[in-house]
Chains A and B, each alone.
Chain A
Amino acid sequence: MSHVELQHITKRFKTVTALRDVSFDIQDGEFFVLLGPTGAGKTTTLRVVAGLERQTQGHVLFDGEVVDDLPPPDRDIAFVFQQYSLYPNMSVYDNLAFPLRAPMRRMSEDEIRRRVYQAAEILRITHLLERRTSHLSGGEMQRVSLGRAIVRQPRIFLMDEPLSNLDAKLREALRVELKHIQKTQGSTTLFVTHDQIEALTMADRIAVLNKGRITQIGSPTDIYDRPATIFVAQLVGVPRINLVDARCDDGTISIIDSTVRLPKPVSGELPARFKLGVRPEHVQLHPQGEYVGELLLIEPLGVESILHIKVGKQSLVCTVPGMTHHKLGEALRFNLVRERLHFFREDGVRIQV
């Protein structure tokens, strides 16, 4: 059993406040992702949980027990660093054995050997064990670094953007692998990333962090389909969500500077002016579409193509599957999926309808 809880954590450095009143809890066996842009305080949160940094206010609880005063070695955690931090001039085997050889564990060499081989097999790095870490490729290094975490059964795995230094292909492969390992081992994981795809693909739950505050906590579906703020809506989803200024009067919504008019949703109240968010996949081309626009730009990606459609002075982005046969400048008819529209107040907060 391992359950981690952060209660009202605030962390101030000399001149900046990195975290303001951050609270969340991680269930046993959960893959919890902290998502946010650079400087949002993700790594600081991780370091506070690890005990490498002491919070200014608030408490960290492991299994309901306050661990604020426990130093890192006594917290029984594993940390995977962004920079791998493999010990140089040690073989891969010694790197993997290092956590087990800590004097406090008093583990026999036989047991260590067994565990190291077990971890190496899971990560498929058995053939690397005798190598020196300086002779490894980036992907291999990160595997070893993960291996150093999984040789023991810590209460929680803390991962600080472990995939961000890898090239795109490797990242994709390791992403799948990591999720598989996490699920088969049932390990509780706190994973930090700025990459929304990593967050969406791997997480059981995501906490979005912005400027040291938690903006939203929820499942990937919650985050994607019901973003709490404009910030969250823009952070997740590629291509980015269409966000346009809109007006509401007499039961009609009109997008400013364009010809698009919509009926007001039946439930809920809308202010006179607000922001309308439409995911690109909810702008759907249709020969008898309600609205018309001019094709401005095409970005063919293979799996899908991104079309930029000019409607009045606004431009909307839409995705279509596969390659497209449309020509630039062509007039396109499209519909908006009404039940999937997002409404935000001017200050960025979601309006529930």
Chain B
Amino acid sequence: MAKFEEVGPRSPITESTRVDLVHPRARLGVTIRAIVAIVIVAIMLFPVIWLSLTTIKTRPDSVAVPPKFIPYFPDGFLSDWCMVPQLNKDGTPKLDKEGQPVLKERPICFDVTLEGIVGLFFERRTLTPAQMKQYMDDPNLDWADRILLKRGLLITGPGEFVNRFRNSLIIAGTSTVLAVTFGLLAAYAFSRWDISGKKDFLFFILSTRMLPPVVVTIPIFLMYRQLGIYDTHIGMILLYTVFNLSLSVWLLKGFLDEIPREYEEAALVDGYSRLQAFRKVVLPQAATGIAATTVFCLIFAWNEYAFSLMLTSDIARTAPPSIASTQGAGGFEWAIIATASMLFLIPVVVITFALRQHLLRGVTFGAIRQ
């Protein structure tokens, strides 16, 4: 028998609400882990930060070398730091003709412009310098007009992007809901009943994923044209739903298999019908799986590019191909592209964030003893 004194925790206590109980080495470990985590987050988030900075840059600033990181507003936020007064050789501040100090922008700074954000939402036309001067005096201009006029652009009408973005929301959202709903029902059937040829069916469903989508775009294009659903919302919803179904059936079947049948059987003998048992007992427990599947399906439908490019032209065109086509006539409008991309990021982030609880919960804490 070991002496009582010798019996203690086998490993150092690393987590406690009492700081004095935590081994100093363990506290250091936490610090190191935190630093590593911050570094990783910074690396992962860098593209997003870069993208969001680009939305407020002018065209020359967005391609400037070395890159510019610090935004400032002329005569406003950070402008004191970014605009450095120039000095004469004797050390006195250099003055211009009007007696104002001459200022020079630091190379790391850029001034904020909203031309990218405004430009995304409107059709634009380039003006000649003469026309520009003429429009400058027009009293009917609003703030959006003025922002673009500085760049020599005239707003000619609302842009396409709002429509495209709405199409993306409608098509991706509807197809995700459909894919998850049908997938759930199919997965439940596959999971709970002995369907003859079950394995073949499942393989067949999976096999639709084995061909790269691009390969089938042309046949689908021809079919869609024949059926009259080229460039329609229905057509795109149908396509994305079918494409996501294989993923959703397989994923959800895995999750449903994990839920013991006893729960449903208990509900059945308790007086619930199959459908009621499914709704009351299976569905709450499958929440994690449904959330994960929803996110995956949404990301696919939201990001899809090739089909949308081939099968839509205007009415049902989604955001991804139109972001690429905002390149504009006079070279790349980086700020507009960046703004479109940022907007494009938001829905997926919001949905994933909203479902994070379910995604994190993982295994359900059931009351079945195995």
Where the two chains meet, the residues of A that have a C-beta atom closer than 8 Å to any C-beta of B are 50-52, 71-73, 75-79, 81, 83-89, 98-99, 102-105, 133-134, 136, 138, 141, 148, 158, 165
For this complex, 16 residue pairs linking A to B, each with C-beta atoms less than 8 Å apart, are A73-B272, A75-B269, A76-B271, A79-B266, A83-B260, A83-B368, A85-B260, A87-B367, A88-B366, A88-B367, A102-B276, A104-B273, A105-B271, A133-B367, A136-B367, A148-B270
B285 — which chain A residues lie within 8 A by C-beta?
88-89
User: A76-B271, A85-B265 provided; 5 other pairs, C-beta below 8 A?
Assistant: A73-B270, A83-B370, A99-B271, A141-B369, A148-B270
Query: Does B262 count as interface, using CB distance less than 8 angstroms?
Result: yes
Please pick, from A71, A103, A105, A134, the residue contacting B365 in the complex, using a CB distance under 8 A: A134
- Residue among B265, B271, B284 with the most chain A CB within 10 A? B271
Interfacial chain A residues near B270, Cβ < 8 Å: 73, 78, 98-99, 102, 148
What is the chain B residue whose CB lies nearest that of A52? Answer: B265
Give B264 Cβ to nearest chain A Cβ, in Å.
9
Q: A79 — which chain B residues lie within 8 A by C-beta?
A: 265-266, 269
Q: What chain A residues lie within 8 Å of B281 (beta carbons)? A: 87
With A and B bound together, what is the CA distance between A85 and B269 in angstroms?
12
A78 and B365 contact, CB distance less than 8 A: no
Q: Is the CB of B266 within 8 A of A141?
A: no
Chain B residue nearest to A92 in the complex (CB): B367
- Best-buried of B273, B368, B370 by chain A (most CB within 10 Å): B368
B276 touches A85 (CB 8 A): no
Q: Which residues of B (351-370) have their CB < 8 Å from a CB of A?
A: 364-370
Residues in chain A near residue B273, CB distance under 8 A = 71, 73, 104
Report the count of interface residues on B (CB-CB < 8 A): 25
Residues on B lying within 8 angstroms of A by beta carbon are 260, 262-263, 265-274, 276, 280-281, 284-285, 364-370
Chief secondary structure at chain A's binding surface: loop
Give chain B residues whose Cβ lies under 8 Å from the Cβ of A134: 365-367
Q: Are B272 and A102 in contact (CB under 8 A)?
A: yes
B277 to chain A minimum Cβ distance, whole angstroms, is 9
The CA of A71 and the CA of B270, in the complex, are separated in Å by 12
Contact A88 B268, CB 8 Å, known A73-B273, A83-B260: no
| Distance from A71 Cβ to chain B, minimum over Cβ atoms (Å) | 7
Return the chain A residue nearest B287 by Cβ. A89
B258 to chain A, nearest CB (A): 12
Closest 4 CB pairs of A and B: A102-B271, A99-B270, A86-B367, A85-B262
Pairwise interchain contact B263-A87, C-beta atoms closer than 8 A: yes
Residue of B nearest to A103 (CB): B276
Query: How many angstroms from the CA of A138 to the CA of B368 in the assembled complex?
Result: 10
Interface core residue of A72, A133, A136 (most chain B CB under 10 Å)? A72
CA distance A71 to B264 in the complex (A): 13
CB distance A81 to B367 under 8 Å?
no
Residue pair A98, B267 in contact (C-beta under 8 Å): yes
**Chain A residues, CB < 8 A from B367:** 84-88, 133-134, 136, 141
Cα(A159)–Cα(B53), bound, Å: 67
Q: For residue A86, which residues in chain B have a CB less than 8 angstroms away from its CB?
A: 367-368
**B271 A81 Cβ-Cβ under 8 A:** no
Query: Which residue of B268, B271, B276 is within 8 Å of A52 (Cβ)?
Result: B268
Please measure, in the bound complex, the distance between the C-alpha atom of A194 and the C-alpha atom of B370, giving whole angstroms: 18
Q: Kindly list chain B residues whose C-beta atoms are within 8 Å of the C-beta of A138.
A: 369
In the complex, A72 Cα to B285 Cα: how many Å? 22
- The answer for the CA separation of A89 and B361 in the assembled complex, in Å, is 12
Q: How far is the CA of A148 from the CA of B266 in the complex (A)?
A: 10
Report chain B residues within 8 Å CB of A71.
Answer: 268, 273-274
Output the least CB separation between B98 and chain A (Å).
74
Least distance between B57 CB and chain A CB atoms (Å): 49
Shortest beta-carbon distance from A111 to chain B in Å: 15
- Kindly report which residue of chain B lies nearest to residue A72, judged by CB atoms: B268
A141's nearest neighbour on chain B, judged by CB, is B367
A4: min CB distance to chain B, Å: 14
Q: Which residues of A contact B368 (CB under 8 A)?
A: 83-86, 88
Taking CB as reference atom, which chain B residue is nearest A95? B367
**Could you say which of A52, A88, A104, A136 contacts B269, with CB atoms under 8 Å apart?**
A52
Name the CB-closest residue of B to A99. Answer: B270
Chain A nearest CB from B273 CB (Å) reads 6
Q: Do A73 and B271 have beta carbons less than 8 Å apart?
A: yes
- Alpha-carbon separation in the docked complex, A348 to B285 (Å): 50
Point out the residues of chain A lying under 8 angstroms from B271, CB to CB.
73, 76, 99, 102, 104-105
**Contact yes or no, B269 A83, CB < 8 A:** no
